Amino acid sequence: MNIPSWLHPLARWLLGTQAPMRRHVAFVLAAAQLYAVNLGIVWHSVHLGLFEAHFAAMLTWVSVASYLLVFTLVRSGVTQRLPDPVLTLPHALVSIGLCILAYTQLEDHRASVLILVAEALVMSMFRLRPTQMLGLGLASVGMLLAAVVWLSWHDPLRYPASTGLMHFVIGGATLLILSLVAKWVTDIRMRIGQQARELSRALDTLQHMATQDTLTGLLNRRTMSDLIEGELKLTDRQGSALSVALIDLDHFKHINDHAGHAAGDAVLCGFAANALAQLRKVDKVSRWGGEEFLVLLPQVTEAEALSAIERLRQSTERLSYAGHPGLRATFSAGLAQAQAGESLEQLVERADHALYQAKREGRNRCGQASHLPHEAHLPQQAQASAAWQEGTALEGSTP
């Protein structure tokens, strides 16, 4: 809703600042017109001499007090913890009760009051459950019946039984049919709402599957690639540091072959959970391949990244895995700091060379790309490029 800027303070005071409360208060404010029209009919009847002024005043005070009570409860936030924060059912019962009370006192304007009862039913169907809607409709018919019986017994001359029967048959049937239609609409509304929630959950599941590794819950290779490419562009513009660490679990095939694939899965999940716990919130971890992981460390130099990955390596050595006593795992890592104009493939390739060097030196250690001689990059150039293409093609595969 577009509100003029000069009305913003008043809107914040009247509706609140939180979106759910603003909707609830707006719904209650919309119900005010029922009270206004009903009281307008009452006081117009007083003007025409058809209604006693003292009863009109009493009805006005009760109506205003009831409405202000509901508005205060909703606006204060007290009702936000309730299943129905706008108190639709009790509010509708009070509104319909006041309309029926006015019906008993009016003469020529009684039909107008029944229209207001119907309007209260229509407004309620947007908030109530189907059974509540049907109950409210039956309650309105019951109140109308009680009013007709009372009028026919109390004032049979001006309100004979035949007139009461006609009003009840026509008005009661109309209200009952309207309540059934409202229940049907409410059924549809609730089914649509349920379908919308199911669709939202399905979309969340698809989003999860599209961005995260199924086994470990880490980011998948495609998502990490997009993140790194975005960070590289930011690094080129701002000149900030950016490092990556390519991690490979040592002797993982041996774990799978001798301890079983369940043990291998436990190691993968245990490492993933430990990495998320040890690293910073801004650092991103992805499952890059079968037992390979890639860590993105923004605003971090290679030397600083070495300290973080070393802590992770040492904590990984001490990990234990439920259901697999005595099982231990280590990893080797290669670190590289992004250079100006460097692509994702080039950055990861340098980290891969550093990882290769760490494995050659005995595993369970971290290698740094900046410590490698330039010639060390050349023999593995073709092999690394092939590995990159193979990894991209097999993204998401499990060991």
Comparing C-alpha atoms, which of 355, 213, 345, 332 is closest to residue 284?
A: 213
Identify the helix (H) or strand (E) that includes residue 245: strand 242-249
Which whole-number Å values give the CA distances from 194 to 47, 187, 212, 221, 292, in the listed order?
A: 50, 11, 26, 34, 41
Predicted local distance difference test score (pLDDT) of residue 8: 66
Comparing C-alpha atoms, which of 307, 385, 374, 303 is closest to residue 346?
A: 385
Question: Which residues make Cβ contacts (< 8 Å) with residue 345, sequence separation at least 6?
Answer: 385, 388
3-state secondary structure of 91: helix
Q: What is the dihedral of CA 213, 216, 218, 222, to 10 degrees?
A: -20
- C-beta separation of 363 from 395 below 8 A: no
- C-beta separation of 103 from 147 below 8 A: yes
Look at the block and give the residue holding tokens 């092939």.
Answer: 386
Predicted local distance difference test score (pLDDT) of residue 384: 45
Predicted local distance difference test score (pLDDT) of residue 108: 65
Q: Which domains are delineated in the chain?
A: 5-205 (no CATH), 221-393 (3.30.70.270)
Identity of the residue numbered 372: L
SS3 content of the chain, % helix, strand, coil (to 5): 70, 10, 25
Residue 376: DSSP 8-state: G
Question: Which residues make Cβ contacts (< 8 Å) with residue 174, sequence separation at least 6?
Answer: 114, 118
Backbone angles phi, psi at 362, to 5 degrees: 125, 0
Going residue by residue through the chain, which has 399 residues, state the pLDDT in tens, using 9 for 90 and above: 455 666 667 777 777 777 788 888 888 888 787 778 878 877 887 887 777 788 888 888 988 898 899 888 888 888 888 888 888 888 888 888 888 888 887 776 677 778 778 888 887 888 888 888 888 889 999 999 998 899 888 888 878 888 778 878 888 888 888 888 888 888 888 888 889 888 988 888 787 777 889 899 999 999 999 999 999 999 989 889 999 999 999 999 999 998 999 999 999 999 999 999 999 999 999 999 999 999 999 999 999 999 999 999 999 999 999 888 889 999 999 999 999 889 999 999 999 999 999 999 999 999 999 877 654 444 444 444 444 444 544 444 443
Predicted local distance difference test score (pLDDT) of residue 116: 77
Predicted local distance difference test score (pLDDT) of residue 30: 82
Q: How much is the pTM?
A: 0.53
